[in-house]
């Protein structure tokens, strides 16, 4: 039975006690006889049966009577989702990729017992064809700097002792026993940490506002409503290191004078919800949440509130409405939540990644944090790298890293040998960044200047087989579905933009439409009520700016250069190349290809639905797409 | 909203007892202006019990919270996660997040629509299957992703729809109730 930790000294004692648990994994010169097998327990790897891998390891440990010497457990996301499920063995620090539950036996017998690395399961560097066992040598990890993700892939997120063993909750202890709220806010301001939800507003200043307004009830909300399609940074942090978020919230609460916190999290993230709830329960049990934390006057508790699938609830005022049990419609600012938020009381809303940075700042100091990054953007940023890129995954890099480094060095370049066309950052609120800006350092300011935004960290890579008009249409479709309908510019304007874009992709575009798109986009930017509407035109504006040639091809020549917009495509058979094998005719779902065996075949353009089956089936290069 | 006549939610369904236990623990004070705080959590609970939120359940919840039915219905219609009609026993969701989309998930959706003869958002006449598109499950490393009930199928290619459905049914059969 666990008992409450009464004071900072007891917490320190616990740290000494649990330190050994994780030392094996952090210390490369470890000489003891303990072995740890860590298996990625993030959503991606769990989908590929990683929990069965742990199960199998534990069975093997039991069978061989090696309990107490060999330990197998889950851990947070290693980030290299492309090669998942990932298994790491300590102290040798061997990194296995694409492991199946059946592979557990081989790893156990050959490596754990026999002491020999299983070469077959190592990562092979695609260029040199060299297999590597140390993750730090891989191009994917070499340039990364993991601060927010520091414990992902290191500790078991469902065991609080492991978090305490890496120094967890020491920052909270330091803040509430040795600092005044004002001193702590000053440190936050000096660190230069900006809101990782997208806008980059100084976290320290936000807290200062929260402190300034007087009330006997104040709230801290963690915004975990990560709705951007293709973004999974916050989810991974909560799945892999929920305690750090709770600790960050508690520090924030102390600074502004709040005693209640909420984590507003997407219902679509069941694993993150589960881990978060486990962490909250554990922290309460040890007295790290609740009344009189660590024997001080400071009391603070956290509850989970589920979202219900509304993208707009990522906007702070809409989120607050949702916690109050209403439709998640945003309200006008000012008053800002720091003045009148939840139940009209002072409230600060911080994003998950922002909060995950807080304990480190108090552990290592504001100066340490402020020296990472660029002049105006401090620290690191986590990106969910996805789309047409070789190394899909979660990466954390210092601010100021260039897009080229991110996509080509860490990401390993464009998948399938395609040519890079654009990177889309910031989800439906961001823009498409073309090739000419690949050397732009990533920070809040420079991404804004080139018409995109940092956003929460989604980074989708697109190749020459992606049509930018269609991508703009895709994002607008998302916005139309997710617009809450409260203000006219967003409700009607985005719908109209979507209709225009649909027309263009169907070959019904006119030159006037391009001007109309531009003017609608600018109007919505200026007049929409909340952040969702104001940023909704960004995908269109940025593609109009950098990919006008593609729009013009669609409008003037009724052609889709990337071969995506089906209505603008025609499939034809080159008579000289056709040998009459009938493969295309048999693959055609609408039977619109005529021709006898060994005779030249012909496509009936009237009936053709442009599915592309014939092109895929033809082995003689006789079918072409125009 | 049309009235749902479904035996699952009428009269003495034991689900109500479970819902009652949950709501009673909240100790809702009908005079508390902040009593709606747990409304969305309660609707999640109700949907997990009944599989969907027909107007009967909505009224029941409204009554417990001492708020108008319109309030409850308004919240449900706002959030995508809540639905007022039942899904098929085997629900197929195709991820339409950006990463899946640029990897061709729209074509995968068409495949499944063709295989089952229904459109996204629809349910087959016998109630066995339904298809929907969803926004990002966050398994972008496996794009394009298809979920059948809770089971994830990654890196799906065109032309695999029938095979995946078959494989699912062989492995898991038809699950009794889907949320």
Residue B154: which of A48, A306, A323 has the nearest Cβ?
A: A48
Query: Which residue of chain B comes nearest to A231, CA vs CA?
Result: B138
Q: Is B43 a domain residue?
A: yes
Q: Are residues B129 and B61 in the same domain?
A: no
CATH tag, A380-463:
3.10.20.600
Q: DSSP string spanning B19-51? A: HHHHHHHH---TT-TTGGGGHHHHHHHHHHHHS
What's the pLDDT at A451? 82
**pLDDT tier, B2 (very low <50, low <70, confident <90, very high otherwise):** very low
Domain boundaries of chain A, sorted by first residue: 8-142, 168-370, 380-463, 468-556, 570-625
**Does the residue B83 lie in any domain?**
no
Q: Is the separation of the CB atoms in A210 and A292 below 8 Å? A: no
Sheet holding A70-75, edge to edge: A70-75, A35-40, A87-90, A94-96
pLDDT at B4: 45
Please report which confidence band the pLDDT of residue A3 belongs to, taking 50, 70 and 90 as the band edges: confident
Query: Does A529 score more than 60 pLDDT?
Result: yes
> Which pLDDT does position A2 carry in this prediction?
66
Where does the pLDDT of residue B3 fall: very low under 50, low under 70, confident under 90, or very high at 90 and above? very low
* Best mutation target, A219, A228, A230, A266, to test chain B (most B CBs within 10 A): A230
Q: What is chain B's Cα-based Rg?
A: 18
What is the rounded average pLDDT for all residues in chain B? 88
Give the model's pLDDT for residue B9. 52
What is the reported pLDDT for A111?
95
Q: How far is A481 from chain B (nearest CA, A)?
A: 10
- State the pLDDT at residue A622: 93
Question: Which of B74, B137, B141 is closest, CB to CB, to A327?
Answer: B74
**Do B102 and B127 belong together in one domain?**
yes
Which of A307, A384, A478 lies closest to B140 in CB terms? A384
Instruction: For residue A599, give Cα distances in angstroms to A130, A596, A621.
Output: 50, 5, 16
Contact at CB, A43 and B99, closer than 8 angstroms? no
| B81 Cβ under 8 Å from any chain A Cβ | yes
Is residue B178's pLDDT more than 50?
Answer: no
pLDDT in tens, B61-101: 999 999 999 999 999 999 999 999 999 999 999 999 888 98
Q: Identify whether the C-beta of residue A111 lies closer than 8 Å to the C-beta of residue A94.
A: yes
Average pLDDT, chain A: 93
Query: For residue A188, which phi and psi values (nearest 5 degrees)?
Result: -60, -40
Cross-chain residue pair B98–A268, CB shorter than 8 Å: no
pLDDT for the residue B177? 45
Domain assignment present for B84: no
Query: Residue B5 pLDDT more than 60?
Result: no
Q: In total, how many domains does chain B have?
A: 2
| CATH of segment(s) A468-556 | 1.20.1440.230
pLDDT bin (cut points 50, 70, 90) of residue A107 is: very high
User: What CATH number is given for A570-625 in this structure?
Assistant: 3.30.70.20
Can you give the pLDDT at residue A466? 94
- ω before A91 within 30° of 0 (cis)? yes
Contact A167, A363 (CB under 8 A): yes
pLDDT score of B176: 46
Please check whether residues B94 and B167 belong to one and the same domain.
Answer: yes
- CB contacts, 8 Å: A478 with chain B: 135
On whether both B98 and B166 belong to a single domain, the answer is yes
Residues of B in contact with A466 (CB under 8 A): 102
Contact A232 B40 (CB under 8 A): no
Measure in Å the smallest separation between the Cα of B28 and chain A Cα atoms.
13
Which of A328, A392, A471 shows the shortest C-beta gap to B140? A392
Q: Are B117 and B73 part of one and the same domain?
A: no
Q: Kindly report the backbone phi and psi dihedral angles of residue B49, in degrees, each rounded to the nearest multiple of 5, phi listed first.
A: -80, -50
Instruction: Say if residue B25's pLDDT is above 80.
Output: yes
Taking CB atoms and an 8 Å cutoff, what residues of chain A touch B44? 267, 306, 308
Q: What average pLDDT does the segment B119-143 reach? A: 89
Closest chain A C-alpha to B95 CA, distance in angstroms: 9
Assigned superfamily of A168-370 = NADH-ubiquinone oxidoreductase 51kDa subunit (3.40.50.11540)
Inter-chain CB proximity B36 and A386 less than 8 Å: no
Domain housing B33:
7-78
Residues of B in contact with A322 (CB under 8 A): 40
B50 has a chain A CB within 8 A of its CB: no
Q: Is residue B18 part of a domain?
A: yes
Q: What is the 3-state secondary structure (H, E, C) of A350-416?
A: EEHHHHHHHHHHHHHCHHHHHCCECCCCECEEEEEEEECECCCEEEEEECCCEHHHHHHHHCCCEHH
Q: B99-114, pLDDT tens digit by residue?
A: 898 889 999 999 999 9
How large a percentage of chain B has pLDDT more than 70?
90
B148, B123: one domain: yes
Span of A20-29, A110-119, A617-626, B148-157 with lowest mean pLDDT: A20-29
- Domain assignment present for residue B85? The answer is no
Which pairs count as long-range contacts for A162-166, CB under 8 Å and 24+ apart, including other chains? Answer: A162/A18, A162/A21, A162/A22, A163/A241, A163/A243, A163/A244, A164/A11, A164/A14, A164/A15, A164/A18, A165/A15, A165/A18, A165/A19, A165/A20, A165/A21, A165/A22, A165/A23, A166/A22, A166/A26
How do residues A196-255 score in pLDDT, each as one tens digit?
987 889 999 999 999 999 999 999 999 999 888 888 899 999 999 999 999 999 999 999
Nearest CA in chain B to A384: B140
Instruction: Show which of B18, B50, B78 is a domain's final residue.
Output: B78
Residue A336 has pLDDT above 70, yes or no: yes
- The 10 Å CB-count burial string (b at 16+, else e) for A71-95 is bbbbbbbbbbbbbbbbbbbbbbebb
In a domain, B13, yes or no: yes
pTM (predicted TM-score): 0.91
Q: B88 vs chain A: nearest CA distance in angstroms?
A: 19
Give the CATH number of domain A8-142; options: 3.40.30.10, 1.20.120.80, 1.10.274.10, 3.40.50.300: 3.40.30.10
Average pLDDT over residues A65-76: 93
The yes-or-no verdict on residue B29 having pLDDT over 70 is: yes
B95 and B166 both lie in a single domain: yes
Residues B168 and B136 in one domain: yes
- A and B: number of Cβ contacts within 8 A: 124
In this predicted complex, what is the ipTM?
A: 0.89
How sure is the predictor about A479, in pLDDT bands with cuts at 50, 70 and 90? very high
Last residue of a domain, one of B78, B110, B137: B78
Q: Is B179 inside any structural domain?
A: no
To probe the interface with B, which of A76, A77, A229 has the most B CB atoms within 10 Å? A229
Q: Which of B78, B111, B126 is the last residue of a domain?
A: B78
pLDDT at A417: 84
Largest Cα–Cα separation, chain B: 58
Closest-CA distance, A166 to chain B, in angstroms, reads 28
Specify whether B101 is located in the same domain as B137.
yes
Query: What CA–CA distances, in Å, run from A489 to A279, A299, A524?
Result: 42, 44, 5
CA distances from A368 to A147, A190, A379, A530 (A): 12, 10, 9, 35
């Amino acid at each position: 039975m666990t008992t409450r930790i009464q004071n900072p000294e007891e917490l320190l004692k616990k740290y000494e006690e649990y330190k050994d648990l994780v030392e094996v994994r952090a210390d490369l010169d470890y000489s003891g006889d303990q072995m740890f097998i860590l298996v990625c327990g993030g959503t991606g790897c769990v989908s590929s049966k990683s929990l069965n891998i742990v199960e199998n390891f534990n069975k093997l440990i039991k069978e061989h009577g090696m309990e107490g010497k060999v330990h197998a457990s889950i851990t947070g996301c290693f980030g290299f989702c492309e090669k998942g499920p990932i298994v790491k063995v300590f102290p040798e620090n061997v990194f296995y990729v694409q492991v199946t539950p059946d592979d557990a036996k081989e790893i156990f017998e050959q490596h754990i017992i026999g002491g020999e690395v299983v070469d077959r399961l190592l990562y092979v560097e695609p260029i040199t064809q060299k297999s590597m066992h140390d993750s730090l040598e891989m191009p994917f990890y070499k340039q990364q700097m993991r601060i927010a993700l520091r414990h992902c892939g290191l500790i078991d997120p469902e065991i609080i002792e492991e978090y305490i063993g890496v120094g967890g909750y020491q920052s909270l202890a330091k803040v509430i026993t040795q600092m005044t709220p004002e001193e702590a806010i000053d440190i936050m301001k000096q660190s230069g940490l900006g809101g990782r939800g997208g806008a980059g507003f100084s976290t320290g200043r936000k807290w200062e506002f929260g402190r300034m307004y007087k009330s006997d009830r104040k709230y801290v909300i963690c915004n975990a409503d990560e709705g951007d399609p293709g973004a999974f940074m916050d989810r991974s942090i909560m799945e892999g290191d929920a305690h750090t978020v709770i600790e960050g919230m508690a520090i924030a609460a102390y600074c502004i004078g709040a005693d209640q916190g909420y984590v507003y999290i997407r219902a679509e993230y069941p694993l993150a919800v589960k881990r978060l709830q486990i962490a909250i329960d554990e922290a309460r049990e040890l007295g790290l949440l609740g009344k009189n934390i660590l024997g001080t006057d400071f009391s603070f508790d956290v509850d989970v509130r589920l979202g219900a699938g509304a993208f707009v609830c990522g906007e702070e005022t809409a989120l607050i409405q949702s916690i109050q049990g209403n439709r998640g419609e945003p309200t006008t600012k000012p008053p800002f939540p720091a003045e009148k938020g939840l139940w009209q009381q002072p409230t600060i809303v911080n994003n998950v990644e922002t909060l995950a940075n807080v304990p480190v700042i108090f552990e290592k100091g504001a100066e340490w944090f402020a020296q990472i990054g660029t002049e105006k953007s401090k620290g690191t940023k986590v990106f969910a790298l996805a789309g047409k890129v070789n190394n899909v995954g979660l990466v954390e890099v210092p601010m100021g890293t260039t897009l080229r480094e991110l996509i080509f060095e860490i990401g390993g370049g464009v998948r399938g040998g395609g040519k890079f066309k654009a990177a889309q950052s910031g989800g439906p609120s961001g823009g498409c960044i073309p090739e000419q800006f690949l050397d732009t350092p990533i920070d809040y300011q420079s991404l804004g200047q080139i018409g995109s935004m940092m956003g929460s960290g989604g980074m989708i890579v697109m190749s020459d087989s992606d049509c930018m008009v269609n991508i703009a249409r895709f994002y607008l479709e998302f916005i139309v579905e997710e617009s809450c309908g409260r203000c006219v510019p967003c409700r009607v304007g985005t719908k109209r933009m979507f209709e225009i874009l649909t027309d263009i992709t169907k070959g019904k575009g006119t030159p006037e439409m391009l001007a109309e798109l531009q003017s609608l986009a600018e109007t919505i930017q200026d007049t929409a009520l909340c952040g969702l509407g104001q940023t909704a035109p960004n995908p269109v504006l940025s593609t109009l700016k950098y990919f006008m040639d593609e729009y013009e091809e669609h409008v003037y020549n009724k052609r889709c250069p990337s071969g995506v917009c089906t209505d603008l495509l025609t499939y034809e058979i080159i008579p000289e190349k056709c040998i009459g094998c009938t493969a295309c005719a048999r693959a055609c779902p609408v039977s619109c290809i005529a021709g006898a065996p060994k005779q030249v075949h012909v496509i009936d353009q009237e009936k053709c639905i442009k599915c592309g089956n014939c092109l895929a089936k033809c082995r003689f290069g006789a079918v072409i797409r125009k | 909203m049309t009235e749902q006549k479904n035996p699952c939610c009428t009269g003495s369904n034991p689900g109500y007892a479970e819902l009652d236990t949950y709501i009673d623990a909240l100790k809702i004070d009908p005079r508390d202006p902040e009593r709606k705080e747990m409304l969305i959590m309660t609707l999640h609970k109700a949907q997990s019990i009944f599989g969907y939120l027909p107007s009967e359940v909505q009224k029941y919840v409204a009554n417990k919270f001492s708020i108008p039915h319109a309030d409850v219905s308004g919240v449900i219609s706002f959030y995508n996660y809540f639905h007022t009609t039942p899904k098929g026993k085997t629900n197929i969701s195709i991820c339409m997040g950006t990463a899946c989309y640029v990897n061709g998930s729209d074509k995968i959706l068409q495949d499944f629509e063709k295989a089952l003869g229904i459109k996204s958002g629809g349910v087959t006449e016998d109630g066995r299957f339904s298809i929907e598109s969803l926004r990002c499950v966050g398994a972008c490393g496996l794009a394009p992703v298809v979920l059948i009930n809770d089971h994830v199928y990654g890196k799906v290619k065109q032309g695999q729809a029938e095979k995946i459905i078959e494989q699912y049914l062989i492995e898991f059969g038809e699950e009794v109730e889907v949320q």
